[in-house]
Amino acid sequence: MKLAFQLAYRNLLGAGLRTWLNVGVLSFAFVIIIFYNGWIDGWNQQARRDSIAWQYGFGQLQVATFDPFDPFSITDAHAALPAEDDHLTPVLLRLGTLYPQGRTMSIVVKGIDVNQTVVDLPTSALTASKSDLPAIIGEQMALASHLKTGDEVLLRWRDIHGTFDAATVTIAGVFPNQVPGIDKGQIWVPLKKLQDMTLMPDEATYFIADANFQHTEIAGWKYRSQEDLLYEINNIIKMKKMGGSVMYLLLLAIALLAIFDTQVLSVFRRQKEIGTYISLGMTRQQVVGLFTVEGAMTSIFAAVLGALYGTPLLGWIAHTGIAVPMNSQDLGIPIADRMYPVFGLGLILATLMLVVISATIVSFLPSRKIAKMDPVQALKGKIQ
Amino acid sequence: MKKYIVWIFFLAGSYSTSGQSTPDARLIISRIDENMSSRNRVILSDMIIHGRRNERILTAKTYAAGDNRSMTEYLAPEREEGTKMLKLEDRLWIYSPASDRTIQISGHLLKQSVMGSDLSYEDMMEDRKMTAIYDAQVIRNEQISGRDCWVLELNAKVPDVAYEKRVVWVDKIRYVPLQEELYAKSGQMLKKTTLSEVKQIQGRWFPTRINYKDMLKQGEGTDYIIREVAFDTDIPDYIFTKAVLTK
């Protein structure tokens, strides 16, 4: 086997430009695969981190009939907890209509305890405001509604009986964030105020749990753990990963095709060499092994070359991040304005395995022909 | 919209012998509630929806019997042609010929706009008598479009009403509402209805043009124009069945 590696190494170096073209293309595929997966992993980590910090906390206790994906469930999803729990922060959701500049915007009005600390929402701005009805909104909402801090806008809502009410809301703050779930199409107001406005004292739609919350079953309420709440994000990330893999697998396929072609050409052009190996005592299988090792070694060279230019390049990207256009927020998943890829050891090793194994397979396939060769004819250089 | 039509029909059918003295507002309202004098009616109407950039005109034929049953078929434009709405008691169905599906509009869907207009399905669904849900009083006399009117203020006496307060201008001579304003609990005016082009048809005075305007948003609102109306005609019972939707 050692001989096979030595021969393969010499043969590859001897092949010159042909080898380095293959190595170059394969190394490019290698780096792209690591970059793309690192980018998705970085996005995943950022989305999870931001969602926990801004939206989910350590889990949520929701009214059983509340469905976050069905805005129509909001009207009836409200109740009071049988007993207060210091580890739960109440949030009350109501449907409303905002009228910025005479336009109609259907929104969700969210009431939250102004003294909460479980999520990063800057609710202190609500207490600092002298307005009768202060509200904070996210950057995306501010962009869509053309509202800024200090603006006043008319809000219409219904109380618990369905009676319309309307009042002027003062925007007490616009907070930058990357989480559409707490931003788009919604405004945040003091919980007590919203409870008074809607005649729903002590009621909430869901509670955000802190790290010390211990869940026990409560009739009419359902508990969704942090992982449960992150399930959708995980699914979207997985889907993006699958979708993106098509692109880099195509690139890999092109590189592998180049190796395959090279191997076919080698088996065709190096018949005398193959005959010589066999006449010197190598079995056909050993010769097949030699050619296969040559292909596999191409992938090792590609990994080394990829590491040479990929390490500084990807390291720099991981350090500076990649700017994301603002309208990318429309995907409905937390996306930072600058994403930082994460290149873990597991990802690099998995990619290395993928490239080496696939290169070995495509090298072996054309080499099988050697096993059927007549060594005498091969020595004569006759095409078989 | 149905409610306004109800008002129109009542008022058009009520006294034309009114004196100039201020009557009891409850009596007026009571007569509005009670005087659904026509057994049924068939209305051919245009609904003009004024958008920000353009306007849409929907032509529809409505069959209505009493307070609780009505069926509307849209005749134009081509895109809406064949769309039907059936209201039976507190249930509402919409049939769309494009999808060949009948959908029941219920719960929160009732709060949605009708065909993009300033009217919601819920506005069409209110069946309760005004006297049952509002306390009324005549608060002043005023002229609207040169007509002497009583101004009625209606304040909700039950909690589950959409509008806490209504103010209605009623023509003293014809007993026709000429204007209505709907208010939120805070006193903010939410919607305004202007009724005009009052004509006498089959012995009744009633407006044939209604402008319905959401006061919180820009725009000219929605115009509802009655082109033809016939009272107490023979409407077959099958018109008020779900089967008629897909016919």
For chain B, 247 residues long, the average pLDDT of each consecutive 10-residue run is 44 37 75 62 92 87 86 92 89 90 80 77 71 88 91 92 92 86 94 91 83 88 92 90 88
> What pLDDT is recorded for position B9?
37
Nearest beta carbon to residue B186 from set A102, A103, A166: A166
**Is residue A218 included in any domain, yes or no?**
no
Domains plus CATH for chain B?
A: 2-246 (2.50.20.10)
Domain with A145, as residue range(s), is 59-212
Same domain, A196 and A263: no
**Is residue A220 included in any domain, yes or no?**
no
Same domain, A202 and A237: no
Nearest chain A Cα to B220, which residue?
Answer: A102
Asked if B134 reaches chain A (Cβ–Cβ under 8 Å), the answer is no
Cα→Cα distances A335→A142, A330, B140, Å: 17, 9, 59
**Is residue A226 included in any domain, yes or no?**
no
* Most A CBs within 10 Å, among B217, B218, B220, to test the A interface: B217
Same domain, A240 and A336: yes
Chain B environment of A159 (Cβ under 8 Å): 185
Chain A environment of B107 (Cβ under 8 Å): 72, 75
Residues 69-108, chain B, touching A (beta carbon < 8 A): 107-108
Nearest chain A Cα to B217, which residue?
Answer: A102
What's chain B look like in SS3? CHHHHHHHHHHHHCCCCCCCCCCCHHHHHHHHHHCCCCCEEEEEEEEEEECCCCEEEEEEEEEEECCCEEEEEEEECCCCCCCEEEEECCEEEEEECCCCEEEEECHHHHHCECCCCCCEHHHHHCCCCHHHHEEEEEEEEEEECCEEEEEEEEEECCCCCCCCEEEEEEECCCCCEEEEEEECCCCCEEEEEEEEEEEEECCEEEEEEEEEEECCCCCCCEEEEEEEEEECCCCCHHHHCHHHHHC
Average pLDDT, chain A: 87
**Is residue A221 included in any domain, yes or no?**
no
Same domain, A320 and A355: yes
Q: pTM to 2 decimals?
A: 0.76
Same domain, A269 and A330: yes
Q: Count of A–B CB contacts within 8 Å? A: 61
Cβ atoms < 10 Å from Cβ of B92: 20
> What pLDDT is recorded for position A8?
77
Same domain, A188 and A244: no
Average pLDDT, chain B: 82
Of A212, A245, A276, the last residue of a domain is: A212
Q: Quick check: helix, strand or coil at residue A202?
A: coil
**What percent of chain A is modeled with pLDDT above 70?**
96
pLDDT in tens, B123-163: 766 667 777 888 889 999 999 989 999 899 999 999 989 89
> What pLDDT is recorded for position B32?
61
> What pLDDT is recorded for position B156?
93
> What pLDDT is recorded for position B36?
45
The CA distance from B118 to the nearest CA of chain A, in Å, is: 11
Nearest chain A Cα to B182, which residue?
Answer: A164
Same domain, A183 and A74: yes
What do you get for the CA distance between the two ends of chain B, in Å? 25
> What pLDDT is recorded for position A378?
73
The CA distance from A97 to the nearest CA of chain B, in Å, is: 10
Asked if B21 reaches chain A (Cβ–Cβ under 8 Å), the answer is no
> Do residue A166 and residue B107 have CB atoms under 8 angstroms apart?
no
Which helix or strand (DSSP H or E) is residue A65 part of?
A: none
Alpha carbons A154 and A142: distance in angstroms, whole number: 15
Place of tokens 């307005």: A131
> What pLDDT is recorded for position B17?
35
Q: How does pLDDT run along chain A (384 residues), one tens digit per residue?
A: 677 778 778 877 777 887 888 888 888 888 988 898 888 888 888 888 999 999 999 999 999 999 988 887 888 899 998 888 889 999 999 999 999 988 888 899 999 999 999 999 999 999 999 999 999 999 989 999 999 999 999 999 999 998 999 999 999 999 998 888 899 899 999 999 999 999 999 999 999 999 999 988 899 999 999 999 998 888 888 887 788 778 778 888 888 888 888 878 877 777 778 788 878 887 878 888 888 888 888 888 888 998 999 999 999 998 998 887 655 555 666 677 788 888 888 888 888 888 889 888 988 888 777 767 777 777 777 766
**Is residue A258 included in any domain, yes or no?**
yes
**Is residue A67 included in any domain, yes or no?**
yes
Same domain, A22 and A123: no
Asked if B139 reaches chain A (Cβ–Cβ under 8 Å), the answer is no
Same domain, A64 and A135: yes
Asked if B53 reaches chain A (Cβ–Cβ under 8 Å), the answer is no
Of A212, A244, A271, the last residue of a domain is: A212
Q: What total of structural domains would you count in chain A? A: 2
Same domain, A63 and A207: yes
Same domain, A242 and A292: yes
Chain A environment of B156 (Cβ under 8 Å): 163
* Most B CBs within 10 Å, among A103, A163, A193, A197, to test the B interface: A163
Q: Quick check: helix, strand or coil at residue A215?
A: coil
A265-303: string of b/e by CB count within 10 Å (b at 16+)?
ebbeebbebbbebbeeebebeebbbbbbbbbbbbbbbbb
Of A184, A212, A240, the last residue of a domain is: A212
Predicted-assembly ipTM surpassing the 0.85 threshold: no
Same domain, A68 and A91: yes
**Is residue A277 included in any domain, yes or no?**
yes
